[in-house]
Each structure stands twice: as structure tokens, then as C-alpha cells.
């Protein structure tokens, strides 16, 4: 099973993103725009995980997630990996509560359960909107969308997701765990 852990934003904020990028979808040669129903913020990518690891992974993820408060976030700005000039990934950025410690805990839970990560890069919270097989100059696209700032929203849970690859990638939720209610301060 190909698995990852993610935060899935609410429909309303995804609507805002979709409206912001709509004029640009299909306008950059070689850029593939996945279906909106696959949009998420990856906390940890586990890759291929043997089925017998799944129960332990679910238990450890539940423990890890419950230790963290819900996160107040907003989509702000767009960017590209590895750079806007030589991009293969176009993404929407996030502002608000830091997600790094949560991502580290989710990754550690995966390691302890026996789900070896294939991606140990430093965590950079983002939502991937498009990909290219070849390096592409996305500076005009990033600049055109530079003024975007989405509505605030609260991330209240983390999902374990199974990816079914193919001509049309499909995701299946294998569990979801609530973050603790955010403390009022």
C-alpha cells in the first residue's frame, strides 16, 4: 500500500484556491493540474507500506496527532520547487500556526511503526497544485498570483491516505484523527 499522512483543508478555502488559479489552468505548457479532490497538505509520505504494518501505524498516528492542538492557517502566496525559474512543482503556501512539530511527530510515528519514509526533506508546508516532468519557468505564474491571501481556517485533523496510482490517481482515507481543540489565549 502506498501511504501518506495529510491535512485536508475545508471545501470553502479550496474553492478560493480554485478560483484564484482558474485563469491559469492549462495555460502553461507541460504543467499537469491534478483533480481538486486530490488536494491536501502532506505531513509525511510513507511510500509502500506492507499491510501488516497498518494497524500499528494507525495506533501510533492517533497518539501523535492527539498531542497537538488544532492549527489556525491560511493560504498565502504561491511558489515552486525547486525554484520558480526551474520548477517541477507549483504550490500554494501557508501561513499561521507552525506545522513542523506535528509533521515531525507524524513522521516519527511512521518510523516507529515500520513505515519507512522515502522523503526525508525538511518539511515545507504547502499544497501542490500542479506538476511538470521537465523544469519549467513558473516565475510569471508565481508573480501573477503573488497578491493572493485566502481566508483563515482551522486544521482539525490528520488523515492516513492510501494512494491508488494509475491514469487517474485516486485517494482512499484509511483513518482520521482529531487534533486537540485549539486553546483560547
Active-site residue flag, 52:
no
- Quote helix, strand, coil % in the chain, to nearest 5: 30, 40, 35
Catalytic residue among 40, 66, 124, 164: 40
Q: Which residues contact 130 (CB under 8 A, 6 or more apart)?
A: 25, 28, 31, 32, 33, 34, 89, 90
Asked if residues 93 and 73 have their Cβ atoms less than 8 Å apart, the reply is no
* d(C-alpha 30, C-alpha 26), whole Å: 9
Active-site residue flag, 40:
yes
Catalytic residue among 52, 124, 126, 164: 126
For the annotated catalytic residues, the residue numbers are: 40, 126
Amino acid at each position: 500500500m502506498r501511504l501518506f499522512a495529510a491535512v485536508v483543508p475545508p471545501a470553502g478555502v479550496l474553492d478560493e484556491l480554485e478560483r484564484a488559479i482558474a485563469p491559469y489552468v492549462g495555460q502553461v505548457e507541460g504543467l499537469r493540474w491534478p483533480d481538486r479532490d486530490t488536494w491536501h497538505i502532506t505531513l509525511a509520505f510513507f511510500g509502500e507500506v506492507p499491510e501488516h504494518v497498518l494497524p500499528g501505524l494507525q495506533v501510533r498516528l492517533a497518539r501523535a496527532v492527539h498531542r497537538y492542538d488544532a492549527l489556525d492557517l491560511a493560504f498565502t502566496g504561491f511558489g515552486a520547487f525547486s525554484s520558480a525559474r526551474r520548477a517541477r512543482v507549483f504550490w500554494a503556501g501557508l501561513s499561521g500556526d507552525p506545522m513542523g512539530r506535528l509533521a515531525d511527530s507524524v513522521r516519527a510515528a511512521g518510523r516507529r511503526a515500520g513505515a519507512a519514509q522515502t522523503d526525508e526533506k525538511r518539511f515545507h508546508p504547502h499544497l501542490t497544485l500542479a506538476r511538470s516532468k521537465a523544469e519549467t519557468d513558473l516565475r510569471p505564474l508565481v508573480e501573477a498570483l503573488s497578491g493572493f491571501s485566502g481566508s483563515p481556517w482551522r486544521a482539525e485533523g490528520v488523515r492516513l491516505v492510501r494512494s491508488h496510482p494509475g491514469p487517474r490517481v485516486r485517494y482512499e482515507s484509511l483513518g482520521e484523527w482529531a487534533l486537540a481543540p485549539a486553546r483560547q489565549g
